[in-house]
Chains A and B, each alone.
Chain A
């Protein structure tokens, strides 16, 4: 795998919507991209999956977390957070409730 490839790691509950895979590899062409651009590319062929992670405005849903190299993007720049080339990005269902 080229080092510029970003690995988008899916939670178990969503893997059926990506054809059963646990992660989607996205080639950023060696350039940084935003979370929004990453998800646009990753979900291009997985439209239902996109609707689970983002609302129709393109915002990350309230109880979903996106971690870029271990940092919670939803607490910083949201979908405008920069994803470096070669990053690992986790989508996680938030621990909501007591």
Chain B
């Protein structure tokens, strides 16, 4: 790795934000907390056009939700003078929580925000100020979107590189929606995804509880559902189960390799009513063939473990093109594990934090500090 860059892992928890830094992804220093006693449920590290900007969706239980922005790789943060994310007055709605922040791969100034209650916002100034995407807000299905256990939110935003008009979002519980006109109009897109909890129609047009969607480098999509793991080879128009071979089809998160087609990581959870690792052994399941076959990766992860990895508490880093991609897991009991060999082994890099809600990692330009 070049000596002019470093790796950072931003760790959002129920009680603040921590930043881990490393030159080699083996030895880490940890800074924090930022925003002590405020929940940090969403993070993005914006490395576009040489930036090392960290965007944090922060919620104080007293003082409400906001976006905090760091342009120095997570060392200092500022807040926009006017509310960064706010519902327009005609909606008579107040923002509850920012669940997702996603830099757009097609426009270096665009950042998407998924929020609670179910809504999508778009920033055209790098994440300082966001406007409601009316096309999704006005969707006739919206009154029938139900909150999941954690709340009702757009929690996943998947833009399509090279196709700025194509967007996919996922929500609990509403399922997958797609737009082919940059957010002006939206269609439910859940064919093949089972909603086992509905008594009359297990394959409705919408209402599925999709927990996370990841895009592979070749455009293949992977979804972890509330029971069910799926892939789509047609940009989310239809979905096929890839749960065979996994120890369980329940979980919250799924990751795709940013450079190698077909490589997917799933973090299995024993069951809906048993939210611990299968066999009480924290693990990831890896597929090298888009989910046709799976194998367990657990070296360095704890046994006798009764914790859980939440929806956004797993990520990859970009890595150097000639180095393996880093893989990171944060747990509800405040550990963060890193793998520098694409899941073959893990090392604990942080422990004793509050419950981890989100981790994001990236390689950024190193800044000299005093």
Q: A48-B81, A51-B83 are in contact. Are A96 and B61 (CB under 8 A)?
A: yes
When A55-B95, A57-B94 are in contact, do A14 and B63 touch as well, CB less than 8 Å? yes
The answer to the question of B368 belonging to the interface, with a C-beta cut-off of 8 Å to chain A, is no
CA distance A56 to B80 in the complex (A): 14
B78 CB, nearest partner CB in chain A, Å: 10
Supposing A56-B83, A56-B87 touch, asked if A51 and B94 sit within 8 A by C-beta, the answer is no
A-B interface contact total, Cβ < 8 Å: 46
Contact A51 B89 (CB under 8 A): no
Please tell me the size bucket of the interface on B.
Answer: 10 to 19
The answer to whether A52 and B61 touch across the interface, beta carbons within 8 angstroms, is no
Contact mask for chain B residues 70-97; partner A; CB cutoff 8 A; 1 contact, 0 none: 0000000001111100110100111100
A21 interfacial by beta-carbon distance below 8 Å: no
Interface hits, A40-68 → B, CB 8 Å: 47-48, 51-53, 55-57, 59, 61, 63-64
Is residue B53 contacting chain A, with contact meaning CB distance below 8 A?
A: no
Q: How far is the CB of B132 from chain A (nearest CB, A)?
A: 11
What's the minimum C-beta distance from B27 to chain A, rounded to whole angstroms?
35
Query: In the complex, what residues of B have CB within 8 A of residue A64's CB?
Result: 62-63
**Contact A63 B82, CB 8 Å, known A55-B95, A57-B89:** no
**Docked pose: A73 CA to B261 CA in angstroms:** 59
Kindly list chain B residues whose C-beta atoms are within 8 Å of the C-beta of A63.
61-62
Hey, what's the 0/1 contact readout for A60-95 against B, CB within 8 Å counting as 1? Answer: 010110000000000000000000000000000110
The 30 sampled A-B contact pairs (Cβ below 8 Å) are A13-B62, A13-B63, A47-B81, A47-B82, A48-B79, A48-B80, A48-B81, A51-B63, A51-B66, A51-B82, A51-B83, A52-B62, A52-B63, A52-B64, A55-B64, A55-B95, A56-B83, A56-B86, A56-B89, A56-B95, A57-B87, A57-B94, A61-B62, A61-B63, A63-B62, A64-B63, A93-B62, A93-B63, A96-B61, A96-B62
| Interface residue tally for chain A (C-beta within 8 Å) | 17
Besides the contacts A48-B81, A52-B60, what 7 more A-B pairs have beta carbons closer than 8 Å?
Answer: A13-B62, A14-B63, A48-B80, A55-B64, A61-B62, A61-B63, A96-B62
Task: Give every chain B residue within 8 A of A94 (Cβ-Cβ).
Answer: 62
Q: Closest Cβ of chain A: how far from B113's Cβ, in Å?
A: 14
Q: Give a binary string over A12-49; 1 marks a CB under 8 Å from any B CB, 0 the rest.
A: 01100000000000000000000000000000000110
Taking CB atoms, residues of chain B closer than 8 Å to A48 are 79-81
Distance (Å) between the CB of B194 and the closest chain A CB?
37
Q: How far is the CB of A4 from the nearest CB of chain B, in Å?
A: 30
Residues on A with C-beta less than 8 A from B86 are 56
Give the chain A neighbours of B81 by CB distance below 8 A.
47-48
A52–B64 Cα distance when bound, in Å, is 6
Known pairs A47-B82, A51-B83; A56 contacts B94 (CB<8 A): yes
Contacts of B80 in A (CB 8 A): 48
Complex contacts, A14 vs chain B, CB 8 Å: 63
Chain B residue contacts of A13, Cβ below 8 A? 62-63
Q: Which residue of A lies closest to B66 (CB)?
A: A51
